[in-house]
Chains A and B, each alone.
Chain A
Amino acid sequence: MSKKKNINHIPLDTSEKAAEIIAYVVLGILSLLAILPCLHVVSKGLSDGNAVTAGAIYFWPVKPQLETVNYVLTKSGFFNALKNTLIITVVGTAISMLTTVTTAYPLSRADFKGRGFISLLYVISMVFFGGIIPAYMVVRTIGILDTYWACILPFAIVQFNMFIVKNYFEGLPDEVEESAAIDGANDLRTLISIILPMSIPVLATVALLYAINYWNNYFHAMMYTSSSSMRTMQLYLYDIINNASALAESLYSTSHQGQNFAKNLTTEGMVAAAVSMSIIPIVLAYPFVQRYMIQGITVGSVKG
């Protein structure tokens, strides 16, 4: 700390000032590049249909309305998709955390006999991949096609995450475990009441990594599910983006007061509204989970 202060007491020379100005300019541009597309989509989703069609939307809504959002939420299967994704994410993350912690703990113990062999199994499974079709045949054989389980199985244990937790457990002081053993606690008890409470930050990080995997995954849902009632958020969103025009047309033809109801519904506006609905939860959750995410990156990738 005091060292940093010393540096700051020396007056800034021109190169330092120049560097800071360049930094503000470049990072300012990058920040805008990150924000503006999101702002544009949300604005479009909230704007008047005519303005959307006329291409008058930039980064703020024009004549704001909620009809498009309302339509997307109520008529397009949004809540069904949200429900499916929530179930997959919650149940999946719970299962993944269970398998991850119970695998990481034995492997983290220096005295554990067989740890070399078991670790090898996990490393092998990281570098050898059977392929899309063999995996599909397995899912089909065990009869879980078109169920939540098919979307959970692929991430039920992610080796990389398991190794993050294992490395963290290895860094905990051995004395605590030893004293627990002397007190007569068995291995499961030690894990639950000693190790886990000491590992909350890494567990939160890894749980978040899993939750994002489940939440964002498009491929497994597309591969393994087929019925519309099983559609996840990502599938739903993809369909809306690609088929919004068809949806809008069907609405015109089927709805009695179609003309009236649909005056704000444009293909572009519907796509934007659906995308916005998926951006908003993430942006709302972001401030709370950001810290853990940054931890996740640093523990995961810069380990020695």
Chain B
Amino acid sequence: MNSSMKPKRIGIGQRIHLFFVYVKRHPLLYLMLIPGLFFLCIYKFWPLYGIQMAFRKYNLFAGSNPMDAIAKSPWVGWRNFEKLIASSQFSIAVRNTLIINGMKILFLFPLPIITAILLNEIRKIGAKRFMQTVIYVPYFFSWVMIYGIFFSLLGNYGVVNNVIAALGGPRTSFFTSLSWFRWLLVFTEGWREIGYNTVIYMAAIAGIDTVLYEAAKVDGANKWKQIWHVTIPGILPTIVLLLILKVGYILDTGFEQVLIFYNPVVYDVGDIIQTYVYRLGIGKMDYARSTAMGLFNSVVAFVLIVGANTVSRKTLHRSIW
């Protein structure tokens, strides 16, 4: 506020003094931070301490409680990671994570852009709003509900298989088919997310100055040319930002979906890093190796996210946080 009146450099002692003067004047502002920080420390920071399990031979009962047991379990260096990388499940999980999320980006990323552009061409406000609303509904459904809905449609005796059978084709178990399972994930993800992302692009399109369209029209541009030369350049920053985010979060997405949809038959094509972490830890109670796998995931994900944010800041001057 009045920083221009202050001398340019103030000593550390004076800064601490000013800080305490401020705290004394506004104690409530600091008290207010307590509830948030309390939960942040318990559920976000305390688990960070538990990361060292990845480098120990963790024994749940070595201490008076599970967290205390961590420090009392012996160090084993990188052994958990070595065992992990040697297992075939590890490379399968890494490969599946990249393939499934890659497929999702490749096939689903362009759809909401097209949808938003088309939605914008509809002149009747009522029809436009109705369709936008309808497409958006599935975003509110939980993955379990979507699983139930598609189980009902695509199960062995679901409506799709009944139609296939009526046409003389063989019944297909989409949920247990090695060739269909990934497509099932891609399709249901699209089904749920397309409306949500469309709303984002609609907002971006609404921000484009209508004068640009008029000018293009005066210059004789038809609708397609207007879309290509005005709409798409206008929403390009949003497109790039969302693409960067998608790539940045490639290791962090799809966990609940896969966890709910998959079954042992399709582990080879459906098991992703996080579901593997979950099965190792909670299923096999191999806590240390599971934590090692989780740490591997977190480190790579961290690099990707921070990288994505750097790209976003440099090219678009927008930061994720």
Contact = CB atoms under 8 A, between A and B. Distances in A.
Interface in A1-16: 3-4, 6-7, 10, 13-16
B65 interface: yes
Interface stretch (B6-14, B97-105, B130-138, B177-185): B130-138
A198 B118 CA distance: 36
A10 B216 CA distance: 14
Interface of B is mostly: helix
A136 interface: yes
A234 interface: yes
Contacts of B47: 129-131, 134-135, 137-138
Contacts of B127: 24
Interface stretch (B88-96, B142-150, B264-272): B142-150
A188 B29 CA distance: 8
Interface residues of B, number: 107
A141 interface: yes
A130 B118 contact: no
Contact of A282 (B29, B141, B143): B141
B187 to A, nearest CB: 10
A294 B199 contact: yes
B146 to A, nearest CB: 9
Nearest to A208: B140
Interface of B: 1, 18-19, 22-23, 26, 28-30, 32-33, 35-37, 39-40, 42-51, 53, 65-68, 70, 114-115, 118-119, 121-123, 127, 130-131, 133-138, 140-145, 147-153, 155, 157-159, 162, 191, 194-196, 199-200, 203-204, 210-211, 213-214, 217, 222-224, 227, 238, 242, 255-256, 259-260, 274, 277-278, 281-282, 287, 290-291, 294-295, 297-298, 301-302, 305-306, 318, 321
26 contacts: A3-B210, A14-B222, A15-B222, A20-B123, A58-B159, A99-B35, A100-B36, A103-B37, A105-B32, A118-B33, A125-B40, A130-B44, A133-B290, A133-B294, A134-B51, A135-B43, A136-B281, A140-B65, A141-B65, A153-B39, A268-B158, A274-B148, A293-B136, A293-B140, A301-B200, A302-B238
Interface of A: 3-4, 6-7, 10, 13-16, 18-20, 22-24, 26-28, 30-31, 33-35, 37-38, 40-41, 44, 53, 55, 57-58, 98-100, 102-103, 105-106, 109-114, 118, 121-123, 125-138, 140-142, 153-154, 156-157, 162-163, 186-188, 191, 212, 215-219, 223, 234, 237-238, 240-241, 268, 271-272, 274-275, 278-279, 282-283, 286, 290, 293-294, 297-298, 301-302, 304
